[in-house]
Structure 1
Amino acid sequence: MAPSHDTHEHEHEHENEKRDLRERARAFFHDNRPADPGFKLPQTFLEVESEEQFLWLKAWQKQVHAAGLIGVEWPKQYGGQGMPPGSQRVVAEEMGRAGVPFLVNRIGLDWAGPTILAVGTEEQKQRYLRNILSCDEVWCQGFSEPGAGSDLASLRTSAVRSGDHYIVHGHKVWTTQAFWADYMILLARTDPAAPKHAGISYFLFPMQSRGVFVRPLVKMTGEGGFNQVIFEDVEIPASCLLASEGDGWRLAVMTLAFERGASEGSATGGALAAGGEVARLVALAKGVCRDGRPASEDPVMRDRIAELAIEEEALLASALRARVPGLVEERPLALPFLGKLVATEFGQRLAALGQEVEGPLAQHAFGAERAADGGHFQRAYMNSFGFTIGGGTSEIQRNLIGEKILGLPKST
């Protein structure tokens, strides 16, 4: 059956909305690009280590929110604008083109918020979603534990029901922004007698509760951002439970799908959202000399940079393809899962090539006086390992794609 006239008009209206949104976003980011704050800014939300950085980035998100450019696809009754799918990606693309900072409440915007929107009660949606968009409440993620990272279902943090409360006891690790967070999406075991996947529940955990201890972890870059969190018999209201007891594994898989890009309704944008790293690499190659001439004139180096430029364009095209229903209907999670795998490994290879372009200058750490481009690619390379590990290592990601999405048999 051919599409109706009304359908065509509806689609045309949506395209006009997105075109107007793009113009508005482009003008806003052009006119409001923040000045250099005078201190080091993190490259991603994983490296927010100081209160100075956090408060500056929080103020930036509030400014973007006040301009009506965050959560534009979320329903109006929860603080969004109810715009058609793909609208937030328009904003993210303009953020990337403008080279403005990322939105600091990424876990709230991209993981916690979409999960609450999908399965939360009306009371939970009204309580949490607006404050996520405005950055009045910042979120972290409490999934991984010592001994339960890739094998997440082996987690041992417990939540025991006691009247109208739960008592939480345990230990989480690699918890990004836990030090600044108001809430955590927490996985805890509520039924120790059930099979390990079946005994887990999902909580919207208030981080200011008594008995919560956050201990920072320093990465090889010397930066913080990661933390471990200790729960010593923490009492939380039973209303913090999301969905039902024992439903935690299903919700965790949903959240991980959002983390890997299955939802674009609140994409956090930033300088990497629309590519641009290859352009930075090209500029570096033009300004750094190797064997007495600019590295950009080395034919081998030019070929390797060109390969990365082609890959960058392919990644952007793949993101566009993911929004065409007819192309993803059979396996809707294939492109998000593949995108996470390919994009993180691409970023790692690009940063490694950046250091190779620099040659001897690559020995200077980021921020050093003689470091090329401020040591951007040294820092990006070391930080890249957090992305090829977080949200499922590349090895685990390949297993998930093969077994769960493509239906391939398990290897023996």
Structure 2
Amino acid sequence: MAEVGQMDTPEQAEFRQSARAWLEDNRPANPIVRLPLTPLEIMTEGQLSYLQAWQKAAYDAGLVGCDYPVEMGGGGKNDCQRIANEEMLAARTPYMPNVIGLGMAAPTVFYHGQEAVKQQLLPRLFSGEDIWCQGFSEPGAGSDLASVQTFAERKGDKWVINGHKVWTSLAHFADWMILLLRTDKSVKHDGLSYFVVPIRSALGKGVTVRPLIKMTGETGFNEVIFEDLEVDDGYRLDELGKGWQVAMTTLLHERGAGDLVTPRSGGMKNKSSHVNNASSLISLAKRTIRSGSTAADDPLLRDRMMQQLVRETGMAASQRRTRVTALQDHPMRLPLQNKLLMSEIAQDTAGIATEVEGAAASLYLADDAAPDGGQWPMAYMNSFGFTIAAGTSEVQKNILGERVLGMAKSK
């Protein structure tokens, strides 16, 4: 069904029916391997192969890249990715492995790349044959993204890149990276440029990828080191020194400005897992016995769970506003607001769940006695990454206050 208040055009209604029919017949079988809670934590070749096969099948069926031009590997449709997302979510399909490619790299390449680069890169990005990662953060440049020091020096029609990126999700499987770097050390923002870089083919030849093992035991994070890597100038997006503006395109989509192929990772829309939404939290509380009664019988806990349900409902209504032009008074308001609230709601929901589980929250995924397969404490530990990624919650609040509400700047 279409969302409340959202009417499909005849073209969209036909697309919705065809998507629904295809999903009924082609939803993939349950994987033999255990999948991580989010695509950012894919750790094994088996997990990746299963998910890539699913993305390729969905792409071939026209459910991925729907709204991009046909000549760039898309479906050439109008506002149909949203519908494909809704139908995949309703069908409880697995998530797409190429989450960074679909959600961040594709719109950035589309808006800023040369035509030849778009036609070369986008079809394999949509199909999932090429996995993408994001090279933004550095050991000395986290929240102050404009301070990145990875440097590219011009050498004819090529650039020689040296530097160090960190917290690079999926770099261990990535074929390509969207890369923000410095081409001029004399100025800050205007000294930045933006490239797309082939990293898989350059492993051991200018690129080194090292895993960063988290407290969860997962290895989705990596650090990436560039040592004299040569890249063609054609892989530079937009003009020299315009990297900050290009990065804003990436960040707006990372914060939720576009229709990322769902189920989304790490948020309450991810219903392909057992956790990360208030309904699943309430179910857990009803099944958890404490002192002769269920956790759901605790009136204080019930109140907190209902607060989460109210926040989720409000969040869903707010997301629908992104499709109404008249309600978008500022281009940053809804993307930043939604990113801020979604990440904090997911964190609070998982936090309450670990309280409900009590001592059982210490059981790991492999323990058969772990409630809901041990995924709630994993979701809670991983939730801190989502309140940091794309700018911390504090950064989001500052931007909303200063640039959207017009409040005095903090410095």
- 1:321 Cα deviation after fit: 1.1
- 1:322 Cα deviation after fit: 1.1
Q: State the one-letter code of the partner of 1:229.
A: V
For structure 1, the residue ranges without an aligned partner over 5 or more in a row are 1-11
Q: Is the CA contact (8 Å cut-off) linking 2:264 and 2:270 kept in structure 1?
A: no
Summarize the Cα distance change of 1:232–1:114 in structure 2 as closer, same or farther, 3 Å threshold.
same
Q: Is the CA contact (8 Å cut-off) linking 1:110 and 1:268 kept in structure 2?
A: no
SS in 2 for 1:74: coil
- 1:389 Cα deviation after fit: 0.7
Of the three residues 128, 140, 156, the one matched with 1:135 is 128
Of the three residues 226, 232, 242, the one matched with 2:227 is 232
Residue 206 of structure 1 corresponds to 198
SS in 1 for 2:31: coil
- CA–CA distance in structure 1, aligned partners of residues 66 and 216 of structure 2: 35
- CA–CA distance in structure 2, aligned partners of residues 275 and 313 of structure 1: 15
After superposition, residues 7-406 of structure 1 pair within 5 angstroms as: 15-85=9-79, 87-193=80-186, 195-207=187-199, 208-209=201-202, 210-264=205-259, 266-270=260-264, 274=269, 276=271, 277-328=277-328, 330-406=329-405
- CA–CA distance in structure 1, aligned partners of residues 240 and 99 of structure 2: 26
Residue 7 of structure 1 corresponds to none
Q: Is the CA contact (8 Å cut-off) linking 1:165 and 1:235 kept in structure 2?
A: yes
- CA–CA distance in structure 1, aligned partners of residues 27 and 136 of structure 2: 35
Q: Is the CA contact (8 Å cut-off) linking 1:14 and 1:84 kept in structure 2?
A: no
- 1:13 Cα deviation after fit: 9.8
Q: What is the aligned-residue RMSD (CA, Å)?
A: 1.8
Deviations 1:187-209 (A, max 9, x none): 1111112x111111100111122
Q: State the one-letter code of the partner of 2:369.
A: R
TM-score calculated relative to the size of structure 1: 0.92
Residue 5 of structure 1 corresponds to none
- CA–CA distance in structure 2, aligned partners of residues 348 and 66 of structure 1: 35
Residues 275-284 or 155-164, more deviating: 275-284
- 1:369 Cα deviation after fit: 2.1
SS in 2 for 1:397: helix
- CA–CA distance in structure 2, aligned partners of residues 40 and 190 of structure 1: 43
- 1:317 Cα deviation after fit: 1.1
Summarize the Cα distance change of 1:372–1:403 in structure 2 as closer, same or farther, 3 Å threshold.
same
Aligned residues: 397
Task: State percent identity of aligned pairs.
Answer: 47
Residues 121-130 or 298-307, more deviating: 298-307
Q: Is the CA contact (8 Å cut-off) linking 1:111 and 1:255 kept in structure 2?
A: yes
TM-score calculated relative to the size of structure 2: 0.92
- 1:273 Cα deviation after fit: 6.5
- CA–CA distance in structure 2, aligned partners of residues 273 and 28 of structure 1: 25
- CA–CA distance in structure 1, aligned partners of residues 405 and 238 of structure 2: 29
- 1:303 Cα deviation after fit: 2.0
